[in-house]
């Protein structure tokens, strides 16, 4: 079979991920998840949509997500894709292709499910079951496009997979239309999804929380003053989620990143990885984020270094979040190597903790294997809604001195057991979000949202982060202060300009679709 334009390949990815032979990208779909005989009941619909939570995200989560955190200066490995941290990614980078392919796998699979729910369901499927399936598909499609527009900018929008088969060479669509497309999907998802559902599955609160983020992002996308109408919509949605969902922040921050707390009450939407699942359904980041002595003999080749600039963002008292994110000298982890009484990290270095969940057996009920972690990947959690609300309440003001937005901000700090702030600025929100969501593969997307609103401020922030720098030794003083010895710096400082903030489109796709080099066009919404 002749290879064709990447989004078309997304049609086959869902059925091909479990077999990664040499012809992986050349296989046609072999599964029958859209056959007329499949959607015969609500249970069948639920089974069909469950795949949206892992398989199409697999290549993104494999390593691509990790490099999103590297872009945000949250991890650095001089031997493994350092170009993300030093902002030197080119169109030839294979990880870009993987991310692109994965996002479009989500889109094409979502399209297939929406189409099947509209044309191929059996008489025993209820309206509620059909609506839930469509809601999940629209939510996931929106999530993929929301990631993508903050990574590349203009994207190719499509709702019918056959259109792509018939015409694979298509132009990009304007960013304002990408946002309109996302918002339409999320509004329908919020209307179709239930308030409560199967544990780990999307609800209307998932859609509303993500929609609030979209409105906040769009409010400043064109620079200048943020759009007040979008800010008001964002605040209304956040208030709905915070006050009516019945959900709460998980009391212990560190528990958020333990397998046994998957699908906790704070998790609004997450990629659901199958414990010891087949290839394409498991979290392969385990081996790259772990170090050998905590794997119970499984072995690992990871953990990237912790950038010094990121370590310096933590207040001295903010040990709960720092210890849950990075391992630093003299830190004790009772949930790792449980059978041996816990794990003391005594190295004179700092390495990644989130994702390094220990070995099998008592640590993870046996559900760990090489390149296979049972830990879910958050797409959005309730703490995000709190900080989104705080940022929307700040809006175009210089400072927020009281009110529910400040209260929401301080609830995040209260959980971390650090002092509340009496007032907050935009810079406070940036720092708090960087710390709260560090190594959760999301903060680079926030950088882009902020950059579109305040480009000079964000470029200045990035260019003062001392990227590509590590220390020969990182020691912890008795009071908890970290000290660095033997700085190892790049041969030349990292300097980022506006044109380098968005990633280049993958070269293979540009070759196959020259329209990716052309100006984006308006999308025909047909309604």
Name the percent of the chain in helix, strand, coil, to the closest 5: 50, 10, 45
DSSP code per residue over 63-96: IIHHHHHHHTTS-B-TTS-HHHHTT---TT-HHH
DSSP code per residue over 24-57: GGGPPP---TTSTTT--SHHHHHHHHHGGGTGGG
* pLDDT tens per residue, range 457-475: 999 999 999 999 999 999 9
pLDDT at position 34 is 43
Q: d(Cα 71, Cα 76) in Å, to the nearest integer? A: 9
Quick check: 1 pLDDT over 80? no
Does the domain formed by 6-220+502-517 have CATH 1.25.40.390? yes
- H helices, E strands: number in the chain: 20, 8
Strand-pairing partners, residue 352, are 326
Quick check: 9 pLDDT over 60? no
Q: Which two tokens stand for residue 225?
A: 């003053």
* Confidence band, pLDDT 50/70/90 cuts, at residue 393: very high
Quick check: 6 pLDDT over 50? no
Q: Which two tokens stand for residue 171?
A: 């132009």
Q: How many CB atoms lie within 10 A of CB 399?
A: 11
Q: Model-level pTM?
A: 0.94
Quick check: 16 pLDDT over 50? no
Q: Which two tokens stand for residue 342?
A: 């816990």
Q: d(Cα 214, Cα 232) in Å, to the nearest integer? A: 12
The more confident residue out of 17 and 185 is 185
Where in the chain are the domains? 6-220+502-517, 302-378
* pLDDT tens per residue, range 419-449: 999 999 999 999 999 999 999 999 999 999 9
Average of per-residue pLDDT across 6-24: 35
- Terminal CA-to-CA distance of the chain, rounded, Å? 36
pLDDT at position 26 is 27
Quick check: 7 pLDDT over 90? no
Q: CA of 511: how far to CAs of 4, 92, 428, 507, in Å? A: 11, 11, 43, 6
* pLDDT tens per residue, range 317-336: 999 999 999 999 999 999 99
Give the helix ranges, DSSP H, for 304-343.
308-311, 319-325
* Confidence band, pLDDT 50/70/90 cuts, at residue 19: very low
Residues of the chain with pLDDT > 90, as a percent, come to 89
* Confidence band, pLDDT 50/70/90 cuts, at residue 76: very high
pLDDT at position 38 is 79
Average of per-residue pLDDT across 293-301: 88
CB-CB contact of 313 with 340 (8 Å): no
* pLDDT tens per residue, range 320-377: 999 999 999 999 999 999 999 999 999 999 999 999 999 999 999 999 999 999 999 9
CA 150 to chain centre: 11
pLDDT at position 327 is 97
Pairing of strands 351-352, 326-327: antiparallel
Pairing of strands 377-381, 326-327: unpaired
Measured at the alpha carbon of residue 233, what is the angle toward residues 192 and 520, in degrees to the nearest 5? 85
CB-CB contact of 139 with 206 (8 Å): yes
CB-CB contact of 368 with 374 (8 Å): yes
Instruction: Please tell me the least confidently modeled range out of 53-62, 67-76, 299-308, 403-412.
Output: 299-308
Q: Which of 231, 39, 216 is nearest to 137 (CA)?
A: 39
Q: d(Cα 335, Cα 341) in Å, to the nearest integer? A: 9
User: Which residues, other chains included, contact 69 with Cβ-Cβ below 8 Å and sequence gap of 6+?
Assistant: 75, 438, 439, 440, 441, 443, 444
Instruction: Please tell me the least confidently modeled range out of 41-45, 123-127, 487-491.
Output: 487-491
pLDDT at position 297 is 87
Q: Which two tokens stand for residue 256?
A: 């958020």
Average of per-residue pLDDT across 110-135: 96
* Confidence band, pLDDT 50/70/90 cuts, at residue 14: very low
Quick check: 11 pLDDT over 70? no
């Amino acid at each position: 079979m002749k290879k064709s334009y990447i989004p078309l390949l997304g049609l086959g990815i869902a059925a091909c991920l479990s077999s990664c032979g040499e012809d992986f990208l050349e296989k046609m779909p072999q599964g029958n998840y859209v056959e007329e005989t499949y959607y015969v009941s609500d249970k069948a619909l639920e089974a069909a949509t469950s795949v949206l939570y892992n398989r199409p995200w697999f290549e993104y989560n494999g390593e691509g997500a990790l490099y999103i955190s590297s872009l945000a200066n949250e991890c650095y490995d001089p031997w493994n894709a350092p170009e993300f941290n030093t902002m030197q990614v080119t169109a030839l980078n294979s990880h870009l292709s993987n991310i692109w392919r994965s996002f479009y796998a989500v889109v094409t699979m979502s399209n297939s499910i929406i189409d099947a729910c509209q044309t191929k369901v059996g008489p025993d499927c209820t309206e509620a079951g059909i609506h839930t399936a469509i809601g999940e598909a629209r939510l996931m499609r929106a999530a993929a496009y929301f990631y993508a527009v903050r990574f590349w900018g203009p994207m190719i929008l499509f709702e019918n997979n056959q259109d792509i088969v018939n015409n694979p060479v298509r132009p990009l669509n304007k960013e304002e239309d990408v946002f309109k497309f996302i918002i339409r999907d999320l509004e329908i998802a919020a209307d179709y999804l239930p308030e409560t559902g199967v544990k780990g599955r999307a609800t209307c609160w998932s859609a509303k929380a993500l929609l609030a983020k979209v409105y906040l992002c769009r409010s400043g996308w064109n620079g200048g003053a943020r759009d007040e109408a979008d800010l008001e919509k964002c605040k209304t949605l956040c208030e709905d989620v915070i006050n009516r969902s019945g959900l709460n922040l998980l009391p212990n921050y560190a528990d958020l990143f333990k397998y046994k707390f998957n699908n906790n009450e704070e998790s609004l939407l997450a990629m659901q990885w199958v414990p010891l699942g087949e290839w394409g359904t498991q979290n392969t980041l385990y081996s790259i984020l772990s170090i050998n002595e905590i794997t119970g003999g499984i072995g690992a080749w990871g953990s990237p270094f912790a950038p010094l600039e990121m370590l310096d963002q933590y207040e001295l008292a903010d040990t709960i979040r720092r210890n849950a994110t990075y391992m630093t000298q003299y830190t004790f982890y009772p949930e790792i190597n449980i059978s041996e009484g816990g794990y003391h990290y005594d190295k004179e270095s700092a390495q990644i903790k989130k994702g390094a969940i220990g070995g099998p057996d008592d640590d993870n009920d046996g559900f760990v294997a090489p390149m296979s972690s049972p830990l879910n990947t958050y797409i959005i959690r309730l703490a995000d809604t709190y900080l989104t609300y705080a940022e929307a309440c700040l809006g175009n003001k210089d400072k927020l001195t009281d009110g529910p937005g400040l209260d929401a901000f301080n609830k995040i700090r209260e959980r971390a057991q650090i002092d509340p702030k009496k007032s907050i600025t935009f810079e406070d929100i940036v720092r708090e979000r960087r710390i709260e969501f560090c190594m959760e593969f999301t903060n680079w997307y926030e950088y882009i949202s902020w950059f579109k609103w305040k480009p000079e401020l964000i470029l200045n922030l990035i260019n003062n982060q001392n990227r590509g720098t590590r220390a020969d030794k990182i020691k912890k003083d008795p009071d908890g202060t970290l000290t660095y010895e033997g700085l190892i710096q790049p041969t030349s400082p990292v300097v980022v300009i506006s044109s380098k903030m968005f990633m280049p489109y993958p070269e293979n796709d540009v070759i196959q679709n020259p329209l990716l080099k052309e100006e984006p066009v308006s999308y025909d919404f047909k309604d």
